[in-house]
């Protein structure tokens, strides 16, 4: 069983600092293509969400992600996925659901 947490936070920089302290150093935004093509090679460990005070659509999410085969830890910052119709959004939503199911079944 792995640790899985979801947090709300003040800003994305706070989330990035917290994850850096936990060893999440790589920028997985640079590996976006690999994440979309091979989502089963990754798992989401931490989710930090931010919602703007004045506009609920001003949302971002910082993911603490681990590459399963190497143990490499990194972050991916995404905008509001509820409005996104991209392969990356689909992969992240799939990984969130998969992670929730794994967490609930352990």
- The pLDDT tens digits for 4-60 are 466 666 778 888 998 999 999 999 999 888 888 888 899 998 888 777 665 656 678
d(CA 90, CA 36): 8
Work out how many domains the chain is built from and give that number.
1
Domain of residue 40, residue span: 5-105
Q: What is the pLDDT of residue 4?
A: 46
Cβ(45)–Cβ(65) below 8 Å: yes
Cβ(66)–Cβ(73) below 8 Å: yes
Residue 96: name the closest of 38, 31, 21, 45 by CA: 45
Q: What is the pLDDT of residue 5?
A: 62
The count of residues in the chain is 106
């Amino acid at each position: 069983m792995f640790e899985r947490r979801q947090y709300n936070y003040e800003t994305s920089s706070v989330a990035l600092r917290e994850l850096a302290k936990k060893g999440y150093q790589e920028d997985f935004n640079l590996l976006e293509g690999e994440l979309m093509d091979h989502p089963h090679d990754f798992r989401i460990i931490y989710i930090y969400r931010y919602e703007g005070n004045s506009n609920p659509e001003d949302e971002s999410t910082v993911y603490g992600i681990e590459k399963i085969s190497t143990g490499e830890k990194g972050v991916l910052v995404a905008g509001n996925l509820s409005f996104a119709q991209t392969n990356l959004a689909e992969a992240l939503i799939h990984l969130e659901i998969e992670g929730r199911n794994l967490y609930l079944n352990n």
